[in-house]
Amino acid sequence: MNALGWIIAITAIAGVGGTGLGGYVGAVLRRDSSKVISLLLAFAGGVMMAVVCFDLIPDAFQPEGARESFPVWFVIGGVATGYALVAALNRMIDAATNPELKHIDENHPQTADALDELIHADHYNMHKETDPRSGLFVAGLVMATAIALHNMPEGMVIGATYAGNPGAVTQGSGFVIALVIGLHNIPEGMAVSVPLISGGMNKWKAIGITALSGAPTILGAALGYSLGLISPVWLSLALSFAGGAMLYVVFGELFPESFLSWRSKAPGAMALVGTLTGLLLVYV
């Protein structure tokens, strides 16, 4: 199998496998495991932050094949673009999933103050309180669509990271990023499968739909990898874009989800463990 084939396979495990595993956990266990999820997300966020800050962004300044370093404003522009795009996608998802919620209006804070808001599950919870099972089913489909849209740029991050180091398929920063994104997809998969099953869908069919919501990750990985191979300029843009996108995932999703899942100092300590682990992965 060539490098692109391996990247697609690894991304499929992270995207489809991660959301599918989350869907299975939500379908089978369907009980509170917030502390375990909190620690996993904090650890994943720490690892990802270390990889972005000490690997992706430094490589963006002088990627493989470049004769000289790119200016700092060039890399900052790519990071800002990646961050802004993922932030905009999340804002679009929020606008699509919760316009009917009474506490979401022009006077409501623009930051998530509850875990259900952050993972877009407030749409499901409102239907659970007011609507019949059909409403829960619709809420699940909305969640699946939202997660699918969200997974595209995450796949681009995996592909771009591999483009910066194409020789290391099952090791290095690309593999680490794929692993962390897979962990990140578990709670999102749970948020999709639970409303589908509550709305009357067969358990295994709901898990299948949840897993398919991670499929756009594969397309994103192929696109990010292909763009990164065009030229050093495109590789620098791809790496800096990937760094910005992942910084939003870390600071806009992973860390807030972790601390809202378990209001304790333990997630902070686990984030430090993740950061140190990321440093080991980058430099050892």
Q: What would the pLDDT profile of 5-62 be if each residue is shown by its tens digit?
A: 889 999 999 999 999 998 888 787 655 567 877 888 899 889 989 999 998 999 999 8
Determine phi and psi for 63, rounding to 5 degrees.
Answer: -70, 170
Among the listed residues 1, 49, 46, 8, the one whose alpha carbon sits nearest the alpha carbon of residue 243? 49
Q: What is the pTM of this model?
A: 0.78
- Over range 111-122, report the average pLDDT: 59
> Residue 194 in contact with residue 72, Cβ under 8 Å?
no
Q: Say how far apart CA 49 and CA 53 lie, in whole Å.
A: 6
User: H or E element: which one contains 69?
Assistant: none
More confident: 193 or 169:
193
Q: What is the pLDDT of residue 277?
A: 92
Output the pLDDT for position 153.
86
Give the model confidence (pLDDT) of 239-262 as tens digits: 999 999 999 989 988 898 888 888
Give the separation between CA 264 and CA 37, rounded to whole angstroms. 13
Give residue for tokens 């992706």.
56
